[in-house]
Structure formats: structure tokens, C-alpha cells
Structure 1
Amino acid sequence: MKLRADNIMKAYRGRKVVKGISLEVNQGEIVGLLGPNGAGKTTCFYMIVGLIKPNGGRIFLDDTEITKFPMYKRAQNGIGYLAQEASVFRKLSIEKNILSVLQLTKLSKKEQHMKMDQLIEEFGLGHIRKNRGDLLSGGERRRTEIARALATDPKFILLDEPFAGVDPVAVEDIQRIVAQLKNKNIGILITDHNVQETLAITERSYLMFEGGILKSGV
């Protein structure tokens, strides 16, 4: 399966911030969307995930056009999203953070708890599973957010600045976790201005500058 943006563009008050960008991500592939602040990568990313509407161009999931799909419908079709800002529920434990998403699925209660246990084990959160979101370190929070994003078994995950607010030791941990997602046949699109950390795990990257693709490749 492939997630594809075809000639998407966005303008604010007549100023083009994204100028006809085309990119694609396959399942089981890690792709970077890189560039300096103001390059347009965040706007491009938000159009793909469904946070803002493009002024032109189209977005596809395989042969299905999803340009007009709201964010929740994209999620139902297998597109997960991890925001740059902290998205854990601060007053809920790690267990309840993950269960809050699993309860929206068609799994039985027993299956929900089994899936929760699996994700907690997989992401090394067992020793802090009862801890509230507001007590977690930056790395623990990111691991919880990624585990929660996987609760719906997405085909693609879009990561918005996943290394922001994470200490250097935890960065390596997050890199390892993201790299392992491709083994689950999940397609990953990462937007980040921390080029070194991102290029360490991407197979291909698009480099944006002033609203366009300056370069793409390995």
C-alpha cells in the first residue's frame, strides 16, 4: 500500500507556502520530510494528515483519493498521527492512555487488555505502567504516544518532530523504536528539522526549501 501526495499546494493571503509538492511513502518504509523552519514542511505534513486543506493537488491512499477525508476518516483508513506537542492524557496512567484508544476499536474487553499488555511490554513501559502522564520523562512520554498510536494497527504513521523535547539518550531509544516499526510493515513519514537524527533512520528523504522540493533521494 502507498500513501501519496500529488502536486499539493497551500497559500495564505496570496503567499504560496507549499508550491506543488509530490511525495510518496510505501508500507514498510521510513521517509523523511526535512528542511529549515519556514520551508513549508509542516504545512505539507498537515495537509497529508488532514489537519488543513490544500488549495490544490490531491492525496491518495493507493487508488483511493482521500484529499477531502477528515482526519478521523483517514485514521479509520489506517493513517496514524503523532503530534509534536505532548498528547498523552496527563491525568491518566500509561495503561489508561492506551486503553482510551483501544476502547474505540471493535476488540472485546479481554482483547483490549491483551493488546494493551502487549504494547506496554513491547515498548518497555511495564515498570511505569501505573504512572500518570504528567510524571513521565520526555522519552517515556514519546514511547507511550507511539504505543498508543499503534493501538489501532495503522498502515502508516506520520511523526511530527518526534525528537523534540527528548534528551540525547532517549533520542537513540526513539530512533530504535521507529526503525522497528518498518518490520511491522508500517510506512513512516517523519518531519523534523533535526536532520542528523532523522537521516540516521530514514531510507529516503525529501528536502524542502521555500515551499518546494529542493532535493529527494537516499
Structure 2
Amino acid sequence: IAEFRLQKVRKNLGNQLSGGERRRTEIARCLAIDPKFIMLDDPFAGVDPIAVEDIQQIVWKLKDKNIGILITDHNVQETLSITDRAYLLFEGKILFQGTPEELAENQIVREKYLSNSFVLRRKAFQISKKTH
């Protein structure tokens, strides 16, 4: 609860939580069973930019703890900025797979999905050793 800054809302009902608090609660619940992998479905949808960065930092910490994370999200920049590998589904099939850099540079991906003006902006977060 403390790691995800949920102390103040731990007794609140779900409908009383903000979008960011809901996302952090969802991730904390996943971790309760000590998983090797978790799946996050649209974690960046409908939350403010501060909550997006909070979620990105959580994902970064989980990667550092060697927990695999599968993210499905339409917010391409937010997702690709923190992932190691990406799979782009287009019309029900894998159009491309590779690193975010490879995906962003692929001309077919740019024409069909990203646009030619897309610029990948990677993020790197500092991990405090106290969280381990």
C-alpha cells in the first residue's frame, strides 16, 4: 500500500478513487499473488499526465524487479517510451514486432499506424534501492 501511495485511500470504495488511484490499486492487487507476469489493459487511458507518469514509474520498477509486463494500450507514445519490445497489431495480425526504436523507424508502421511525423521519446526513471 505504501509503495503505491494508497494509504489515504485504502478504505475508500472503488467509485471514490481517481483514475490514477484506480490504476495503482489494480496493479497492487495483481502483485498480491507474487506473479512472474502481469497484464495491463489500457493503463494510460482516461488518466491525467501526472497519473500516466506515476504508472510509467511503477512499470519501470516492476521491470527492475524482474516482473514481466504485457501492456495493451492505444496511447502509443506513453507505452513505447517505457517498453523493451513492442508488437503492433493491425487488422487482427501482427504487422511488426521489435524494439520501440525499430517500430518507430519502420516505414510501413509509420504509414499504416504512427504517421510520418511520429517521434519516439524514451523515458528512463531512477529506481531507489529502498523499494526493493
Residues 56-78 of structure 1: per-residue CA shift (max 9 Å, x gap): xxxxxxxxxxxxxxxxxxxxxxx
Report 1:111-130 matches (<5 A): 120-130=1-11
Asked if residue 161 in structure 1 is aligned to residue 33 in structure 2, the reply is no
Task: Give 1:131 shift.
Answer: 2.1
Using the aligned pairs only, state the percent identity: 75
State the match for 1:196 in structure 2: 77
State the match for 1:140 in structure 2: 21
- Corresponding residue pairs, total: 99
Q: 1:153 is aligned with what amino acid?
A: D
Distance 2:94 2:12 in 1: 43
State the match for 1:152 in structure 2: 33
State the match for 1:187 in structure 2: 68
Distance 2:93 2:9 in 1: 43
Distance 2:47 2:18 in 1: 8
Residues 155-187 of structure 1: per-residue CA shift (max 9 Å, x gap): 100111111121121111111111111122111
State the match for 1:92 in structure 2: none
Q: Which runs of 5+ in 2 are unaligned?
A: 100-132
Structure with higher strand content? 1
Distance 2:90 2:12 in 1: 42
Task: Give 1:127 shift.
Answer: 2.2
Distance 1:128 1:150 in 2: 18
Task: Give 1:154 shift.
Answer: 0.6
Q: Which runs of 5+ in 1 are unaligned?
A: 1-119
- Runs of 4+ with deviation above 6 angstroms: none
Report 1:37-186 matches (<5 A): 120-186=1-67
Distance 1:131 1:210 in 2: 41
Structure with higher helix content? 2
Distance 2:49 2:18 in 1: 12
Name the Cα RMSD after superposition: 1.0
Q: TM-score, normalised by structure 1?
A: 0.44
Q: TM-score, normalised by structure 2?
A: 0.71
